[in-house]
Structure 1
Amino acid sequence: MNAYQHQFMWHLLAYAVQRNVSLPALCRANGIDEPAFRAGRLPDLTEQQVVMIWQQIGAATNDPLLGLHLGESLQLAALGVVGDLVKFSRTIGEGVMQAAAMLPLVTELWRMDVETEGAVCTIRFTPERPEGSQPLSFLHRHMLDMLLAFTLHEVNGLVFSRIAPVTVGLPYETAETAEYARVLRCDEIRTGGACYLTFDRHVWHEPVLTANYEMQQYFLKKAGEMMQEKALRQSLRDRVESYLMTNAYLGIPTIEAIAANFNTSARSLQRHLQEEGVTYQQLADQVRKTLALHYLEVRNYPVKEISYLLGYNELSAFTRAFRRWTGTSPSMYRS
């Protein structure tokens, strides 16, 4: 965990205490030193510990919308340098763009993309690792709700006008649409599809009250250094897998091609991956599986085209691989 992920978890635990959750019980259950927590310090937490903490707080508060209500309560300080970048940007659009680029400093679960087209601008949230038709995990869902509420409420605190989205998209069905409408200030909540917030385009040009170009440049430099440090700490496996996913629209490259991109030889790349307990073929295969499930789920491509996109020369080869991954054929999986 980096410093800002620590900081966010500290805010989550502090919020739990405000909701009458027992701090000593949370600390004991997760191996956290209570005096250290009260002094603003947390130990490194594993992904499993983070999930357990979220679940324990959700159970203790009996709140199915824990993430949404957490996001409603947070301030920009909870996001550290990412919040600082938003606070000192010149316009809302500029601040949101900066936040989207630096979101990996806060969470590795979701990617934030910004689009402007015609009279609207859209903020989209996409899982960093799509998992086909599998439902979102507990942590994915509550982190997403937090990001939606937090994005809207903090943006509103930086301008003179009241900002509300035109439409909100949620990637799951929910019986709590009225509460989403209240927190997100939007009557048009669309469920079961993509996740997004759409705004009238004029919002993008709203000036930020606390705009400060020099401070923005300072925090932009600081965030860039942290992103670089984060990249250096990544394992080679993570870097290769991330590259494959990010550039999947170009097809799955050969190991020689990706080695050249990493400024090394294919033999050296394979050797280092094997030291981390994996081969390039296994990583490529996993990415193909993830993308195959995703493409079949969105139903925008015929099976033959998916086969081509994933680098299979013959449909039969793709079908055999898909059976190995899932135990069924692509056509049966889609039906």
Structure 2
Amino acid sequence: MEDPQKRFALSLLAYAAQKDVVPERLCQSANIDLQELKTQSGESLTQKQLSNLWRNAVQLTSDPLLGLHFGESLQLAALGIVGQLVQSCATVGEALTQAAAATHLITDLFRMEVTHTAQSFTIRFVPNEPVDPEFAPLLRQLLDLFIVFVLHEADGLVLKKISPKTVRFPFDVPDPAEYERILRCKPIANSGEYALEFENRYWHEPILTANYELQNLLLKQVGALDRDFENAKALPDRIRHFLLANAYLGIPSLEQLATHFNTSPRSLQRRLQDEGMTYQQLADSVRKSLAMNYLSSGKYPVKEISFILGYNELSAFSRAFKRWTGRTPVRYRQSAT
């Protein structure tokens, strides 16, 4: 069965090749086997491999706005079965709803949310927090790409040029004129979110390639991909996802976690050791990601962050954070804000 992430990575390689970048060189720099990528065999790509692929593509193409420009040229076919599902939908609104439900098959760095009112509809691209700082540049490139891609592919689905009401970014836009050219409206910087807003009249716009029978078949295939996606996750990834999704409850003990995964603490620890780690290492990794995210946001006092992460003493949190990053929490916050 196809791997949407690998298909997407191949599209990036093809785009880079148009810019005179040798695909083999890009793959080698990211520790990716090009042959496995072409045949969609072997293990799924890791976030680190994808991050290295993008970082080196930006460097070798000398294009800091690579995501923006790649999105301008990307075709729905690059998304494989997800793209086919979008094309089979009856209306723009239905296509966006299906695309939002399948975004996780392409990337686990963010999710796509669609809200609809009587006046307009908004597509938000929401990072799956906390974002490890190592992958922040990858996230920004991907979000630029998907904002442009959604806009330009909507044109192809309805055979007319669509202009958004607003396009919002949570950062200073580095080249406002280029963003405005591609997005057809002035970008709103420092808005706190990645979002596209359209007039409501486009929601019910019919899609010319709609095919109800094909859509039913594709939905079954996407459902099978979903199951494979979940089953293929390594145990550390599943635990990490659970810890991050329930971070507001604090980091559970090994015994509490084992109960959730319907196993004994001893069996869970043994399975993690087979993967080359302990629960303590995994929990510390999650605490580190959460701590860096909370500190960077500037919304929480350091003492409160310490309590949220399960430390009884602020000094214990400070020692742990310095061990992880080489800096105290206060120093890290000062450098991040």
TM-score, normalisation: structure 2: 0.81
Partner of 1:92: 92
Partner of 2:317: 318
State the shift of 1:226 in Å. Answer: 0.9
Letter in 1 for 2:217: Y
Contact 1:133–1:297 (CA under 8 A) maintained in structure 2: no
Partner of 2:256: 257
Partner of 2:172: 173
Which is further off, 209-218 or 78-87? 209-218
1:193-232 to 2 correspondence within 5 Å?
193-232=192-231
Q: How far apart in 2 are the matches of 1:92 and 1:29?
A: 36
Give me the identity figure in percent: 49
Q: How far apart in 1 are the matches of 2:316 and 2:55?
A: 42
Partner of 1:242: 241
State the shift of 1:51 in Å. Answer: 5.2
Partner of 1:306: 305
State the shift of 1:85 in Å. Answer: 2.1
Letter in 2 for 1:111: R
State the shift of 1:132 in Å. Answer: 6.4
Contact 1:167–1:188 (CA under 8 A) maintained in structure 2: yes
Q: Give the match's secondary structure for 2:189.
A: strand
State the shift of 1:285 in Å. Answer: 1.8
Which is further off, 279-288 or 48-57? 48-57
Contact 1:132–1:297 (CA under 8 A) maintained in structure 2: no
Unaligned runs of 5+ in 2: none
1:26 matches 2:33? no
Partner of 2:5: 5
CA distance 1:166–1:306, shift in 2 (3 Å): farther
CA distance 1:291–1:176, shift in 2 (3 Å): same
Q: How many corresponding residue pairs? A: 328
Letter in 2 for 1:153: H
1:60-71 to 2 correspondence within 5 Å?
61-71=61-71
State the shift of 1:244 in Å. Answer: 1.0
State the shift of 1:78 in Å. Answer: 0.9
Partner of 1:292: 291
1:103 matches 2:100? no
Which is further off, 203-212 or 142-151? 203-212
Contact 1:91–1:204 (CA under 8 A) maintained in structure 2: yes
State the shift of 1:181 in Å. Answer: 1.2
Q: How far apart in 2 are the matches of 1:257 and 1:67?
A: 41
CA distance 1:55–1:296, shift in 2 (3 Å): closer
Q: How far apart in 2 are the matches of 1:213 and 1:198?
A: 27
Q: Give the match's secondary structure for 1:173.
A: coil
Q: Give the match's secondary structure for 2:157.
A: coil
Q: How far apart in 1 are the matches of 2:254 and 2:6?
A: 36
Q: How far apart in 1 are the matches of 2:323 and 2:63?
A: 40
1:267 matches 2:266? yes
State the shift of 1:222 in Å. Answer: 0.7
Unaligned runs of 5+ in 1: none
Q: How far apart in 1 are the matches of 2:113 and 2:210?
A: 22
State the shift of 1:227 in Å. Answer: 1.8
Partner of 1:112: 112
Contact 2:157–2:208 (CA under 8 A) maintained in structure 1: yes
Contact 2:87–2:157 (CA under 8 A) maintained in structure 1: yes
Deviations, residues 140-168 of structure 1 (Å, cap 9, x unaligned): 33333221211111123223664333332
State the shift of 1:268 in Å. Answer: 1.1
Letter in 2 for 1:10: L
CA RMSD of aligned residues (A): 3.4
TM-score, normalisation: structure 1: 0.81
Letter in 1 for 2:15: Y
Letter in 2 for 1:209: L
Q: How far apart in 2 are the matches of 1:4 and 1:158?
A: 21
